[in-house]
Amino acid sequence: MGLAQLHREILGCTRCVEAGYLQQAAPVLSGYPDNRIMLIGQAPGAVEAVRRLPFQGRSRKVLMGWLMRGGFSSEAQIRRQVYMTSITKCFPGKGSGGGDRRPRPGRGRPVPLISRSAAGIGQARAADPGGRARPRPLPAGRQLDTLVGRLFDLTGREVRSRERVRPLIVPLPHPSGASRWLNAVENRLLLEQALRRLRPLARSLLDAQLVGA
């Protein structure tokens, strides 16, 4: 199935509305068939639901800053050359505590859609492993500080930086200010290590993408 057809399927999906989870579907999509890097988040937020573009809320500047430290030259380059998606395609609404409701299993058919998107996209995947945004291959039950700063293949095996394995998963923390994980100095060092490991991967894939354009 081509990416355009997959996007049409996502845009036409009403399963969460029919199940009573959402009043109205508003899938958020952004990506091109020639992208070789995929960014996977947890779910669109309220701002994304209106603008219908990923990563538009308060955490946008933080995330884009990380990715520029990780090998990209600008936000414009990121948005053109990175396929951006999330486990849940629509904003799940507000939770009882005032924050965004966390995606629940069974909503939005996340794994098949992610897998089908990935089949034609990335060789490296930057993922936000906070909450339910952890891609299935990453080791279950692991704390964030055992994931960020390391590389994994699609089986969940940790990969050394010099190994020629593709695709690779590069876990990143959640960029939201609501997360306190980065308050600890040792966790900020893990983030720096993750961005250092992302940098040569991003540059090599971007060079290959430009050559093939």
Per-residue pLDDT of 36-51, as tens digits, reads 999 998 889 889 999 9
For residue 166, the one-letter residue type is R
Q: Where are the domains of the chain?
A: 3-212
Q: How far apart are CA 135 and CA 86, in angstroms?
A: 10
| pLDDT exceeds 60 at position 133 | no
Q: Which two tokens stand for residue 192?
A: 């720096």
Q: How far apart are CA 122 and CA 187, in angstroms?
A: 27
Record the pTM.
0.82
For residue 161, the one-letter residue type is S
Quote the crossing angle between the two packed helices 3-11 and 110-119, to the nearest 10°: 160
For residue 7, give every residue at least 6 positions away whose Cβ sits within 8 Å of its Cβ, in sequence order, or none: 29
Work out the mean pLDDT of the chain and round it to a whole number.
82
Q: What confidence score (pLDDT) does residue 211 get? A: 55
Contact between 121 and 38 under an 8 Å Cβ cutoff? The reply is yes
Contact between 7 and 83 under an 8 Å Cβ cutoff? The reply is no
Mean pLDDT of 51-60: 90
pLDDT digits (tens, 9 = 90+) for 135-148: 556 766 788 999 99
CATH entry 3.40.50.720 includes domain 3-212 = no
For residue 52, give every residue at least 6 positions away whose Cβ sits within 8 Å of its Cβ, in sequence order, or none: 26, 27, 28, 29
Q: How far apart are CA 168 and CA 56, in angstroms?
A: 25
